[in-house]
Chain A
């Protein structure tokens, strides 16, 4: 009797282990080309991003990193000049065929390089997305605001001034506010585009700790021009150069020189870019 229970437990454990090994694919990108007018920002990009990993994207300026992010979020519907070709499978479904782009965007949280504190109070900044989803009940909003601010490591600093303007916070605080705002969307995918540009090193470290925890609940894409930040955080990393994805691979392997293209090592070691 006890034996069979034990056996069942062992079996269940091995099941979870095996599912952890064959990770679920969150994003499957194939032949993705993004162009503005006649100029291609990225061309023929192919890779997969797994669930619950931090996927780093490194590369010099003008490599097409931000264009890639914009394509994920279907920002081309707001920019007539921007053209996206190729396939992006989100949870196995092609995002160019979905009917409700707004719902997709709300499942994807984005944090920009420079913090964009919307011109409203701290509370309203975080409550905006839930409100857009139709949540009106004050108690649930309060709960969401507190939870998101706590998870972005900002709660202790702003809990007494939730009604002051978000734009009056310091740069680092504003960036954590935008992270809280992104979290309030309850995203499956969190995109951070060079989030630490306007943030001091201490805050950067705090946010990095937060990201490591968030990884358990969502998939994170981390675009960064600090290669060491990618090394600290990313499970796998892609190297973009001049609109092409040169290679993707296990972060440690890339940093240890196991690369297909020597340019990757050159960039990582600071020989150009």
Chain B
């Protein structure tokens, strides 16, 4: 009954070729087939935003897509942003402003915010609130995340 589909995809600059069951979710493909476990799954119905990744630079919910749909496309996950030794300015800002607690939702916030800051390098508080309103966080109450985004904007402008 299982139908398999071939997928050629570039993830964080690296090319992958895989044969996946047609119904495999993109989130499961990334996490379990490729071992890119930085992308987290919080609800599997597209509300919490934890599984957000970039598809050709645009944020998408990887739990609402099939792996088969990314054939021929480019994906960026949180592992593509930076490393513990050399973090992206946005990641640095999250640490400095205490923008995370348990850290489970954090990769989704980061991946939503990278394109947001590219489009809007100097956002207001209100714009940041709107930008992250599709990502749920149960720990922080969001204030330190907003602080982190403002700090990141400054850091990125200085570069």
A binds B: no
